[in-house]
Amino acid sequence: MPMQKNFSTYMATKENLFKTIKIKNLEVPGNIFLAPLAGFTDRAFRRVCKEKGASFTYTEMISSEAVYRGNDKTLTLAERASNEDIYGIQIFSGSTDSAAKSLEKLLPFKPDLIDLNCGCPVPKIVKSGAGSALMQEPEKIREIVKALTETTDLPITVKIRSGWTSETINYMKAAEMALEGGASLISIHPRTRAQFYSGKSDWSCIRKLKETFDVPIMGSGDLYTGEDARRMIEETGCDSVMFARGAIGNPFVFEEARAILSGDDDYQAPTEEEKVRMAFRQLAYAIEYNGEGKAVKEMRKHLCAYTKGITGGSAFRNKIVHGNSYDEYRDMFDEFMESLKGRWEDLPD
């Protein structure tokens, strides 16, 4: 078993909750991460999250098998956003061969680490033997991680779940196998695959990992506010936190979390106008990266998330789902901003 450690010496204090994280030879200047989310963490979204204080970002989950077999469309997911000074590429794979060989095409993008997904619960991923299916075969996690670490000197990190079902909780074994393979960080979403995203995540799993293993431990699950981040670090002692669904439509959460972890009392929550401005900013980035046709369709889910809880947001969302062009969205946002008594002068054209 990898080296164990004295947990009490690692408990965070309010004075140092925001801190640099060292992952093998990589120093990340902060401990507030954006999780890789299929269908959401494209370059445009990662760009606004970085602008609002995310310490580290990951690509969407990438199929190593598709990369290995030459799917160029899949490779576009590995492209770096313009402000990502550091970033990671997350892959999913059920095969040591495709995992290792996919790096030949992924490493030219110059990621700072490679993350192996062992937690995705989506049926089509699980059926391929990847994602959370690997929680049923912890030894296979070790072999895939070993194949990756033998292929590159970059840090290899692993994201796991607490287990396959409540009757087969085995995150400790999965973490041990990942570390035996050479993993440099373990992140955990402490729900089982059977739970998907229902119920409550069990933060005690995060704490137990931190108590046991002498590598950085990152926690995820039920993080929606900066206060949630503080509470997770204080309750579990984890080195870093990873926002997932809580960041969708709310990149401001990184700014909020950094302020709270740093003890900054001057943080001001975004106004409704600022939320709408950021939504449009992300739309502009999406058009820059993906072209208008693709961007306006893929942004609908983000725009709906941005307007959740905003005065008049429900009626506005009903319009958003019918938008088909930049100009249509512009008109919609103009009308909505006028209802909020906002201004557009500083928005991108």
Give the model confidence (pLDDT) of 290-332 as tens digits.
Answer: 999 899 888 888 988 988 887 777 888 888 788 888 888 888 8
Phi/psi at 55 (nearest 5 deg)?
Answer: -75, -30
Give the model confidence (pLDDT) of 52-76 as tens digits.
Answer: 999 999 999 999 999 999 888 899 9
DSSP result, 280-304: HHHHHHHHHHH-HHHHHHHTHHHHH
The answer to whether residues 14 and 146 belong to one domain is yes
Tell me how far apart the alpha carbons of residues 331 and 283 are, in angstroms, rounded to a whole number. Answer: 13
| Position 264 confidence tier, pLDDT thresholds 50, 70, 90 | confident
Burial class for 55, CB neighbours closer than 10 Å (0-12, 13-18, 19+): buried
3-class SS at 103?
A: helix
The answer to whether residues 224 and 325 belong to one domain is no
pTM of the complete model beyond 0.75: yes
Tokens of 140: 């296979």
- Could you list the residue range(s) of the whole structural domain that residue 295 is in? 272-339
The answer to whether residues 219 and 312 belong to one domain is no
Give the model confidence (pLDDT) of 207-224 as tens digits.
Answer: 999 999 999 999 999 999
Q: Answer left, alpha or beta for residue 39, where phi above 0 means left and psi between -120 and 50 means alpha.
A: left
Tell me how far apart the alpha carbons of residues 103 and 238 are, in angstroms, rounded to a whole number. Answer: 29
- Of the given ranges (5-19, 122-136, 150-164, 230-244), which has the lowest mean pLDDT? 5-19
Q: What are the Cα distances from residue 318, in Å, to 258, 277, 282, 308, 348?
A: 34, 19, 19, 12, 24
Residue 343 pLDDT exceeds 50: no
Which CATH number belongs to the domain containing residue 276 in this structure?
Answer: 1.10.1200
Among residues 242, 262, 282, the one where a domain terminates is: 262
| Position 11 confidence tier, pLDDT thresholds 50, 70, 90 | very low
Among residues 262, 289, 311, the one where a domain terminates is: 262
- The catalytic site residues sit at 120
